[in-house]
């Protein structure tokens, strides 16, 4: 069963002015679709692998045949990462979107980082320093939250870690509006973070 692109859970303009409408069209309809097309093509002759969820594929890359492993890592990673990313955002000012964290993740952030400002700084610094294309992540490891980054479309799932929160720092995610000003994009992005979804993913990460 080939993977399919789900529609955005909100309008293309819903993240304005922090993420612009044109970026959302290109990012979702073109970039995410391309990752899906590429991973589907790679798995076309591997029905047993294609039957797995994309997250399960990424959890054990060693089970992917050599000749398609890099394609699956990059494009399956792209599919998984972007699926999480769309759902981790929502219209600024809506209930539970932007502003301070809520629920269990708020308490864990306070315990592990001191306060929300310190957490945002740690996350943004890590994402800003990722050289070239990649992602900034929040994961839960050994009972603590940790910020990390990966290159390309590498998923924390391939390191045995479940991504709780992730921000895309490929230039395609921000260049039309922010050009080379990645830190400005990183700072603005917190206005559209969906804390209910973060809490849902935190519950999964805790197991
Ligand atoms: Mn992207």
CB of 99 within 8 A of CB of 121? no
The number of distinct structural domains making up the chain is 2
- For residue 136, the enclosing domain spans 103-206
pLDDT at 173: 97
CA 97 to ligand 1 centroid distance, Å: 21
CA 85 to ligand 1 centroid distance, Å: 9
Asked if residue 80 and residue 161 are part of one domain, the reply reads: no
Nearest to 172 by CA among 74, 32, 55, 70: 32
Q: Residue 153's Cα: distance from chain center in Å?
A: 9
Asked if residue 122 and residue 163 are part of one domain, the reply reads: yes
pLDDT at 118: 98
CA 144 to ligand 1 centroid distance, Å: 27
CA 32 to ligand 1 centroid distance, Å: 7
pLDDT tens string 140-199:
999 999 999 999 999 999 999 999 999 999 999 999 999 999 999 999 999 999 999 999
CA 12 to ligand 1 centroid distance, Å: 15
The set of residues, in sequence order, having a beta carbon less than 8 Å from that of 169 and lying 6+ positions away, is 127, 128, 130, 133, 134, 135, 136, 149, 182, 185, 186
pLDDT at 97: 96
- Report yes or no on 12 lying in a domain: no
pLDDT at 1: 65
* Regions in the chain scoring below 70 on pLDDT: 1
pLDDT at 172: 97
């Amino acid at each position: 069963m080939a993977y399919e692109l789900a529609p955005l859970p909100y309008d293309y303009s819903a993240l304005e002015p922090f993420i612009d409408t044109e970026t959302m069209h290109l990012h979702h309809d073109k970039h995410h679709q391309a990752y899906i097309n590429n991973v589907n093509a790679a798995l076309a002759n591997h029905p047993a692998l294609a039957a797995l969820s994309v997250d399960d594929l990424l959890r054990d890359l060693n089970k992917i045949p050599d000749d398609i492993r890099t394609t699956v890592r990059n494009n399956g990673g792209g599919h998984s990462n972007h699926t999480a990313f769309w759902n981790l955002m929502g219209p600024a000012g809506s209930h539970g979107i932007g502003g301070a964290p809520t629920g269990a993740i708020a308490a864990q952030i306070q315990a592990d980082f001191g306060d929300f400002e310190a957490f945002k700084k740690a996350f943004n610094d890590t994402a800003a320093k990722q050289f070239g294309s990649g992602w900034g992540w929040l994961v839960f490891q050994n009972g603590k939250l940790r910020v990390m980054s990966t290159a390309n479309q590498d998923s924390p799932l391939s390191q045995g870690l479940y991504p709780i929160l992730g921000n895309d720092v490929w230039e395609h995610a921000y260049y039309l509006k922010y050009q080379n000003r990645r830190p400005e994009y990183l700072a603005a992005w917190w206005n559209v973070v969906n804390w209910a979804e973060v809490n849902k993913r935190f519950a999964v990460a805790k197991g």
